Amino acid sequence: MKAADNKTPRKKAVRDEDVRDEDVRDEAPRSQDSSARPFRARTVRARGGLSVRFDVRSFTVVALLLVAALAASVALIGTGDFPIPARDVLKSLLGNGDTGQEFIVNELRLPRVLVGLLVGASLGLGGALFQAISRNPLGSPDVLGLGQGSTAGALTVIVLFSGNAAEVTVGALVGGLATGLAIYVLAWKRGVHGYRLVLVGIGVSAIVTAVNGYLLTKADLVDAARAVVWMTGSLNGRDWPQVWPLLWLCAVLLPLVLGNARGLRMLEMGDDVAYALGVRVERTRMLLMLAAVLLTAAATAAAGPVSFVALTAPQLARRLTRSPGPNLMAAMCMGATLLIVADWASQRAFGADQLPVGVVTGVLGGVYLLWLLVTERKAGRI
């Protein structure tokens, strides 16, 4: 199945007319943004053979998204039953505010925003990794059932053991990791391949959803209410104990992931090409999938299954950078921005802690997914 899929582009292209003799510059209106240069990236070279390449547009997008995420964070900290102007928020963050405001900003609201930023970033990065590995925009953790797996873990703890918040977190983490492992093992056949990964993920997702439904019917009313709130994905009441583990995980995984990003970029062109170029295909893929599962499971454990961020962030980032390649940094910053903006929007529109952020991202993500399907259909890809 894989070989046949991969051949189609070539087969299709043969039918096109050969346009070699025509004026190339006039023929390529889409090339304008790359200002007719053969290589998109700019290179910085130093003596001793060191050279670093970066794409100006991607770099700018990452920088702008970072600014947006931080600005939204300040706005979010200032939002609530006791509004604080942005200037005072910044003062308090730097330790120059008045005592009352500093308490609200640094003790009450900052950890929640940090959890939001980290969860968004982890989901964005995890989603970008999954989509790149499966070479499919649908190959994201939401669709693959990782969120459902975490939910199953959390529900088990809530319903069967009436566990406390920390135990629920552990349950969600274990559930997510177990689901990730199950998908990998079931999809593995001389290497994990895109369609197989998506199909297996959808199957696993269906099974786990059924289990979740069963667990909910078994729960008493109090547990069920708690479970449903958890299942929507929310930042309410998140505090420093949720910040630190996520921060450490990101600090360890981010360099690992970025160190393998170049190999992942080669994997985009198919396993055979990547092999031929000297990428250790299976090792790279397994390592990155493990990182993606860890990031997603940890984010879900901290905030619940916030829907659609992992699916939409990489696709939005890609459309902004207009760059092939996994766009990992851009997807990560986009995830953080999306989550914080969604949380801020829900608080502004409905008041503090009324609407869990997962509802907003779910609605936005659903609309986005429909738009994606419609445009891809117009482009003839689906």
Partner 1 sequence: MNRTSANNPSANRLSAENVTLAYDQRVIAEHLSVEIPDNSFTVIVGPNACGKSTLLRALSRMLKPNQGRVLLDGQVIQSMPAKKVARTLGLLPQSSIAPDGITVGDLVGRGRYPHQGLLRQWSSEDERIVRESMSSTGVAELADRYVDELSGGQRQRVWIAMALAQQTPLLLLDEPTTYLDIQHQIDVLDLCAELHEQQGRTLVAVLHDLNHAARYATHLIALRDGSVIAEGAPSDIVTAELVEEVFGLRCQVIDDPETGTPLVVPAARQTRVAPAVGVADTSSTTEARDVRDGGDVKDAVNAAKGF
Residues that bind partner 1 (CB under 8 A): 1-4, 6-7, 9-11, 13-20, 24, 27-28, 30-31, 34, 36-41, 43, 45, 49-53, 135, 190, 259, 262, 265-266, 268-270, 272-273, 275-280, 322-325
Q: How far is the CB of 2 from partner 1 (least distance, A)?
A: 7
CA-based torsion, 183, 187, 191, 196: positive or negative? negative
Q: Which is nearer to partner 1, 234 or 321 (CB)?
A: 321
Q: How far is the CB of 324 from partner 1 (least distance, A)?
A: 4
User: Which two three-digit tokens encode residue 1?
Assistant: 């199945």
d(CA 122, CA 161): 28
Q: Which is nearer to partner 1, 110 or 330 (CB)?
A: 330
d(CA 272, CA 161): 49
Q: Which is nearer to partner 1, 40 or 109 (CB)?
A: 40
Q: Which is nearer to partner 1, 160 or 277 (CB)?
A: 277
d(CA 162, CA 164): 7
Q: Which is nearer to partner 1, 8 or 217 (CB)?
A: 8
Residue 42 half-sphere exposure toward CB, CA atoms < 13 A:
9
CA-based torsion, 94, 96, 99, 100: positive or negative? negative
Q: How far is the CB of 129 from partner 1 (least distance, A)?
A: 16
Q: How far is the CB of 25 from partner 1 (least distance, A)?
A: 8
Q: Which is nearer to partner 1, 112 or 318 (CB)?
A: 318
Question: Would you call 142 exposed, middle or buried from its count of C-beta atoms within 10 A (0-12, 13-18, 19+)?
Answer: buried
Q: How far is the CB of 51 from partner 1 (least distance, A)?
A: 5
238 phi/psi in degrees, rounded to 5:
-75, 140
Q: How far is the CB of 6 from partner 1 (least distance, A)?
A: 4
